[in-house]
């Protein structure tokens, strides 16, 4: 039992009528997802979420957040904030290059939409502190940021994320594994809001990726820019070759004629994820297990496969890069469009909660008083 539930809202004479959902035209289901603007995207982002976004953009009306307020929960120096516009541009360009279609997708900057913060404030009373303390990713983020005490904002990270998702009434949320628990919190907040104040929000569905995390080039569990073990979507062919050449493989295999292990071996994990030539992968695996192939051949073929995978992205990137300011325009137009949507939704939420009614009553009285005075 929690202590924050109270009886469902009763209709109040001063609350404004809310539109009946059944009278509104059916709208396309919405996807909302995105990233903190911490830098360029890598192959781990691709398999963890970008790939899903590209697939889902056909089916859903798509919103992609540049979550700079979330970034502040772990990185809030002036220097970090000064990097946001460049990082946002890089991140959006990475996604456009990867195949997100700007005709269908809307990118927006979180901090430019103050109504999101307003919704965050309203949601803060729909979840308890112990519930948030059980979200495992927050402790990991605090540790990674070198903080020995949990900042208030970081504890509230999933609540702000719920505001992001629900401020456009997102129906589906494709995110990587670290974010699964956050989407669960969003679902709880949506249900609790609807229970207390009436049906305003959808209870969004998490969409998982096939590969949830990609190992780093050094064999560490996770590819991450800060660990220096990533291959960027924007890396050129020579950089990819260099990074693949120095990749970690089976440490027990000191010579090419020693049988090697495939499972968990980063070069084979990547072959599986990025090499379109399945026969080549099967052949390399067989010979690797039998001690009949050298690392050089495995890696040369891997670098070629990753480069073939990235080549169409490089071509699209060149087209965007040739038009200076285009990415900025895409972000600004998207932000303005999203803000209008969010304003409508937040107004609906405040009406459902009776907050609009509160101020309207005061306003009416104030108006009458002014009239009586003949003002
Ligand atoms: N939490 C996401 C990350 O790990 C970023 C994010 C913020 C997000 N708001 C979101 C993702 C809403 C999906 C939906 O960077």
CA 111 / ligand 1 centre spacing (Å): 13
Q: Is 42 in the pocket of ligand 1 (CB under 6 A)?
A: no
The residue nearest atom 13 of ligand 1, judged by CA position, is 33
DSSP 343: H
Return the percentage of the chain with pLDDT > 90, whole number: 86
Average pLDDT of the residues in 354-358: 94
Residue 210: the pLDDT is 79
Tens digit of pLDDT for each residue in 96-153?
999 999 999 999 999 999 999 999 999 999 999 999 999 999 999 999 999 999 999 9
Q: Is the pLDDT of residue 272 over 90?
A: yes
65 C-beta closer than 6 A to ligand 1: yes
95 lines ligand 1 (CB under 6 A): no
Query: What DSSP string runs through 84-117?
Result: HHHHHHHHHHHHHHHT--TTTEEEEEGGG-HHHH
pLDDT digits (tens, 9 = 90+) for 155-211: 999 999 999 999 999 999 999 888 999 999 999 999 999 999 999 999 999 999 877
Sign of CA dihedral 158, 160, 163, 164: negative
Longest CA–CA span in the chain (Å) reads 99
Question: By the 8 A CB rule, do 56 and 172 touch?
Answer: yes
Question: What is the pTM for the complete model shown?
Answer: 0.89
- 301 close to ligand 1 (CB < 6 Angstrom): no
Which atom in ligand 1 lies closest to the alpha carbon of residue 161? 9
SS3 11: coil
Alpha carbon distance 342, 32 (integer Å): 13
| Å from CA of 65 to ligand 1 middle | 7
d(C-alpha 100, C-alpha 93), whole Å: 9
Helix and strand numbers (H, E) in the chain are 17, 5
- CA 374 / ligand 1 centre spacing (Å): 53
Distance 166 CA to ligand 1 centre (A): 12
Compute the distance between CA of residue 322 and CA of residue 280 in angstroms, rounded to an integer: 36
Please answer whether residues 124 and 155 qualify as being in contact, where contact means their C-beta atoms are separated by less than 8 angstroms: no
Going by alpha carbons, the residue nearest to atom 4 of ligand 1 is 35
Q: Which residues contact 223 (CB under 8 A, 6 or more apart)?
A: 42, 43, 44, 213, 214, 215, 216, 217, 229, 230, 231
Task: Tell me if 52 CB under 6 Å of ligand 1.
Answer: no
- Most ligand 1 atoms within 8 A of CB, residue of 30, 32, 33 to mutate: 33
CA dist., res. 40 & res. 31, Å (int): 22
45 lines ligand 1 (CB under 6 A): no
Distance 153 CA to ligand 1 centre (A): 14
């Amino acid at each position: 039992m929690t202590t924050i539930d109270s009886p469902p809202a009763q209709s109040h004479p001063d609350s404004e009528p809310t539109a009946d959902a059944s009278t509104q035209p059916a709208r396309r289901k919405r996807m909302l997802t995105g990233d903190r603007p911490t830098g360029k995207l890598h192959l781990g982002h691709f398999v963890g979420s970008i790939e899903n976004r590209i697939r889902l953009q056909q089916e859903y009306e798509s919103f992609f957040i540049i979550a700079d307020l979330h970034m502040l929960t772990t990185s809030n120096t002036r220097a970090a904030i000064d990097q946001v516009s460049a990082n946002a541009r890089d991140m959006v360009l990475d996604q456009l290059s990867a195949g997100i279609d700007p005709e269908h997708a809307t990118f927006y900057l979180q901090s430019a939409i103050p109504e999101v913060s307003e919704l965050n404030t309203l949601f803060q009373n729909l979840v308890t502190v112990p519930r948030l303390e059980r979200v495992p990713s927050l402790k990991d983020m605090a540790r990674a940021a070198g903080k020995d005490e949990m900042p208030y904002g970081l504890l509230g990270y999933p609540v702000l994320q719920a505001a992001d998702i629900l401020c456009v009434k997102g129906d589906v949320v494709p995110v990587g594994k670290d974010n699964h628990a956050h989407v669960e919190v969003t679902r709880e907040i949506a249900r609790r809001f609807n229970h207390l104040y009436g049906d305003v929000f959808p209870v969004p569905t998490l969409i998982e990726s096939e590969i949830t995390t990609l190992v780093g080039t050094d064999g560490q569990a996770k590819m991450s820019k800060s660990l220096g073990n990533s291959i960027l979507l924007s890396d050129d062919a020579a950089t990819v070759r260099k990074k693949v050449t120095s990749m970690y493989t089976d440490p027990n295999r000191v010579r090419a004629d020693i049988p090697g292990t495939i499972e968990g071996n980063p070069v084979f994990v990547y072959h599986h994820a990025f090499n379109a030539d399945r026969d080549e992968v099967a052949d390399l695996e067989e010979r690797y297990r039998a001690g009949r192939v050298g690392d050089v051949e495995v890696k040369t073929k891997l670098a070629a496969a990753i480069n073939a995978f990235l080549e169409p992205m490089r071509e699209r990137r060149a087209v965007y890069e040739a038009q200076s300011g285009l990415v900025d325009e895409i972000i600004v137009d998207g932000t303005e469009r999203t803000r209008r949507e969010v304003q409508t939704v937040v107004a609906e939420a405040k009406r459902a909660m009776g907050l609009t009614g509160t101020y309207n009553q005061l306003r009416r009285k104030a108006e009458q008083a002014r009239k009586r005075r003949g003002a």
